[in-house]
Amino acid sequence: MMHGPLPERDDATHAPTSHPLVGVCERALRTCNSVIVVLAALALIAACAILSYSVLSRALFHAANYWQDEAAVFLLVGATFMTAAYVQSGRGHIGIEAFVGLLSPRANRIRLWLIDLASLSFCAFFTWKSWTLTHEAWSDGQVSNSMWSPPLAIPYGLMACGMTLLCLQILLQLAVPLSGAKAR
């Protein structure tokens, strides 16, 4: 079950936080996420166009396609990981909400804070491993095993950047209650 619909993205719907640094970070990440969502939408459209071209060129012209599937996968990986922070900002990731109705509002805030802390721990490890993979792929010149052979640093880098943004988003969610602001 989702935590609720994604919030509106204009500044009028966001209450200011008590600590100015948290507010600046929230606005910066919100702006970054807004740009990324547009780019991810374009990446999804591009992936659809590439796969459609691949199917049509194979069916109509019997053309060999060796790059289309991999290019579409790279675009999908980028769109998925890069938008994770945006989804997290609205608590749009899947979660089990069996205890929400049983707990008081304060207990639910504590529960969410502890879940964010556990999520940050996992995501921080994933981020570290993603950056390690990116560095290895870049420094070793690793490429995929296809005829096209694009560098593997591309999908690993997108994964690492997306996970880094997700960690920053979770850090903000942890900082907001500590800064004295009300959670949204």
Mean pLDDT (10-residue bins), the chain, 184 residues: 46 54 91 97 97 92 88 96 95 78 89 92 98 98 93 97 97 86 55
Q: How many CB atoms lie within 10 A of CB 55?
A: 12
Residue 10, pLDDT score: 42
Kindly state whether residue 60 falls inside one of the protein's structural domains.
Answer: yes
Q: Given this model, what pLDDT does residue 11 score? A: 42
Contacts with 172 (C-beta within 8 Å, 6 or more apart), sequence order? 22, 25, 26, 29
As for how many domains the chain has, the answer is 1
Query: Could you tell me if residue 128 is inside a domain?
Result: yes
Residue 100 lies in a domain: no
Q: Which residues contact 4 (CB under 8 A, 6 or more apart)?
A: 90, 91, 92
Q: Read off the pTM.
A: 0.84
96 is a domain residue: no
pLDDT at 181: 61
Q: Within a domain: residue 5?
A: no
Asked whether residue 97 is domain-assigned, the answer is no
Q: Are 82 and 166 within 8 A, CB to CB?
A: no
| 116 belongs to a structural domain | yes
Q: What is the model's pLDDT at position 41?
A: 98
pLDDT number for residue 124: 98
Q: What is the span of the domain harbouring residue 139?
A: 20-91+105-178
